Structure 1
Amino acid sequence: MLATSFVILSAFFAAQIEALPSGAPVSSCSTMMPFHIPFLFVQQGVAPFSITLSSQTASPQSPITVTLKANSGGPAFKGYLIQARSGKNIQAVGTFTADGQSNTGKTINCPGGIKNAVTHTSRTDKTSETFLWTPPANFKGQVVMMATVVVRYNQIYKGVQSSLITRKKKG
């Protein structure tokens, strides 16, 4: 009985981790994990993905392009959630634009903001997704782009990070 229950629960949880076709739910915003369930499927070590930036400085008048991509020879990915975060703060900052960029993603409204995260809109294999990010008007200090990337139900990479982004100096 216990073994049967374990198999049924394992199958249920595995199905829940598969990249949702409509993207990450708002409930994933704070943890950046599928369904807030602490799975053992988070991969350790260096992720085969990177987040590149068009610039390491940004301002509300000078947004930057953010690209999540599979590294050369790395696997394609089915799902993702990307946010800009400051320090240990779990609240996403700034706004993303998905329209007109090279992506199949969409913006979502995580708590405390509007369009402050981006996620996938289909489970098709992807090797690159590009968005525009605009910092908030009161942007000071530094932020980093954070991503969770789903390759398949048992292969999730959490904590994929960009280099630091600082406020662009006037002038």
Structure 2
Amino acid sequence: MTEHILLVVACVLPAVVWGFSRGAGDQACINLTPNHDSTSQNSTPPYTLIVDTTSIRQGGVVTVTLNATAAGDTFRGFLVQARCTKCTTADTAIVPGTFAKYNASDDTIQTKNCAGVDQNSITHTSAVEKTSAMFTWTAPSDYDVSQGIEFRAAVVQTRPVWWNTLMSEEISVTAAPSSSSHTVLGMAVVIVSITASLLL
């Protein structure tokens, strides 16, 4: 009897882990909802999404950290995206920026292409328990500065226990300096340098 039980457990366990063992599936891309035959928790997520800045320029980079908030808390899977906060379709507007690993050698995370856009999401690589994940995100160089950005995440603690209500602080985007302003600034520096040398 014991052998039969062990055989059943051995057959079922890979299926349980499979749902998030190699990263979030494509079905999670739009609504941040994993295909786990369960619903999102209504409680406050025991995790935080921390950004290193709340204001960037077009093409700027944000460092994002997903953390468990209490000692002993872990997560097995996650999917993080940048979302537009002032778009009329904010719930489905994935900002087409570019995610990357913070540490190139980190083999616990990987970028993901959602809705056919390269590297616009980031997820896990295995079901190993984690307490944090760190990555960067580069904003589009032509991002509409009238729109805000926030990071949203689905985080899986165990297969039936997950949250998709985790959000970072909102990030504002300002226009990048134009090439002409760079030219004017460069000329001003040259003029000041020449003037200073003449006065010496």
- The TM-score bracket by the shorter chain reads 0.7 to 0.9
The equivalent residue for 2:136 is: 132
Aligned residue number for residue 123 of structure 2: 119
| Structure 2 counterpart of 1:97, one-letter code | A
The counterpart of 2:51, out of the listed 53, 60, 69, is 53
- Rounded to whole Å, the distance in 2 between the matches of 1:149 and 1:58 is 26
Q: State the AA in 1 paired with 2:64.
A: V
What is the one-letter code of the residue matched to 1:131?
Answer: F
- Structure 1: gaps (5+ residues): 1-11
Query: May I ask how many residue pairs the two structures share in their alignment?
Result: 156
Provide the residue aligned with 2:188 in structure 1: none
Distance across 2 between alignment mates of 1:19 and 1:102: 25
**Residue 162 in 1 paired to residue 165 in 2?**
no
Amino acid at match of 1:166: S
1:19 CA displacement: 4.8
State the partner residue of 1:70. Answer: 68
Letter in 1 for 2:122: V
SS for the counterpart of 1:116 is: strand
Indicate the SS of the match to 1:114.
strand
Q: Which residue of 2 aligns with 1:33?
A: 33
Give 1:130's aligned amino acid: M
Q: Which residue in the other structure is 2:92 paired with? A: 90
Distance 1:92 1:169, change over 3 A: same
Residues 26, 108 of structure 1: 8 Å contact kept = no
Deviation readout 1:106-152 (Å, 9 max, x if unpaired)? 00110152100000001011011001101112222201100000000
User: Which digits, 9 at most, give the CA deviation of each residue in 1:57-89, with x for residues without a partner?
Assistant: 123443010010000236200000000001324
TM (norm. structure 2) is 0.70
Any unmatched runs of 5+ in structure 2?
1-11, 178-200
Amino acid of the structure 2 residue aligned with 1:165: I
Which residue of 2 is the match for residue 7 of structure 1? none
* Distance in 2 of aligned mates of 1:132 and 1:25: 21
Q: For the structure 1 residues 61 and 143, does the alpha-carbon distance in structure 2 shift closer, same or farther, using more than 3 Å as the test?
A: closer
Quick one: structure 1 residues 89 and 21, their matched pair in 2 at CA, closer, same or farther if it must change by over 3 Å?
same
Q: TM-score, normalised by structure 1?
A: 0.80
Preserved contact between residue 102 and residue 130 of structure 1 (Cα < 8 Å): no
Q: Percent identity?
A: 29
* Cα 1:74/1:163, change in 2 over 3 Å: farther
| Distance in 1 separating the partners of 2:104 and 2:136 | 8
